[in-house]
Amino acid sequence: MVSHPFNEEDRVNTRKLMTALCVAATAIAASGCAVHSHRGKEVLSTDQIYPAIGPYSQMVGHGKVIYFSGVIPLDKTGTTIVGATTEEQTRQVLDYIRAKLASQGLNFSDVLMSTVYMKDLNDFAAMNRVYGEYFQKDPPARATLEVARLPRDARIEIAVVAARR
């Protein structure tokens, strides 16, 4: 028979400790940091850009992270595309993203990730030049995809994820 250095009480206490650690680790992973937010999901919006044009929220916050819905280059009423070229449309989209960030006390340096949807990746260099004007230092992670079609036949849509400090 093998002798164990722990008695039954030690084993029970070890199991309790491991369960508590697993619960704590799950909470930390869910919140993204050791300080858990009790606010839960927050639906956020700003009147500095067009209103949502469908059943979605402009932004949703959870703890320190804010998820921004994709932005297309509409006018402020949400009816007409602004700009004919990829450069013009990219600038309009990033100006709106700046307004959304500002409405939450954030700026481009708070953006963690962006996803760029483009009608034509042949316009990537044009988009990238404008994008670089807005994300000059420590740019976020980014994915860029060509898609068959965007809402209102826009040439570009950008969605971002940002975090409060």
Q: How many helices (H) and strands (E) does the chain have?
A: 3, 6
* Residue 14: per-residue pLDDT: 47
Given a cut of 60, whether residue 18 has pLDDT beyond it is no
109 — pLDDT class (breaks 50, 70, 90): very high
d(CA 131, CA 89): 11
How far is the C-alpha of 152 from the C-alpha of 77, rounded, in Å? Answer: 13
As to burial, measured by CB atoms within 10 angstroms (0-12 exposed, 13-18 middle, 19+ buried), residue 141 is exposed
* Residue 38: pLDDT over 50: no
Q: What pLDDT is recorded for position 25? A: 40
Whether the per-residue pLDDT at 33 is higher than 60: the answer is no
Average pLDDT over residues 71-90: 97
**121-146 pLDDT, tens per residue?**
999 999 999 999 999 999 999 999 99
Note the pLDDT tens digit of each residue in 44-72: 999 999 999 999 999 999 999 999 999 99
Angle at the Cα of 106 from the Cα atoms of 100 and 111, rounded to 5 degrees: 85
C-alpha span between 7 and 153 (Å, rounded): 70
- Coil, strand or helix: which one is 149? coil
What does the pLDDT read at residue 36?
A: 34
157, 117 Cβ separation under 8 angstroms: yes
Number of Cβ within 10 Å of residue 57's Cβ equals 15
The tally of CA atoms less than 13 A away on the side-chain side of residue 130 is: 18
Q: SS in 3 state form for 62-94? A: ECCEEEEEEECCECCCCCCECCCCHHHHHHHHH
Give pLDDT, residue 55.
96
Residues 105-131 have a mean pLDDT of 98
Q: 1.20.20.10, 3.30.1330.40, 1.20.120.550, 3.90.850.10: which CATH number matches 41-163? A: 3.30.1330.40
% of the chain beyond a pLDDT of 90: 76
pTM of this structure: 0.76
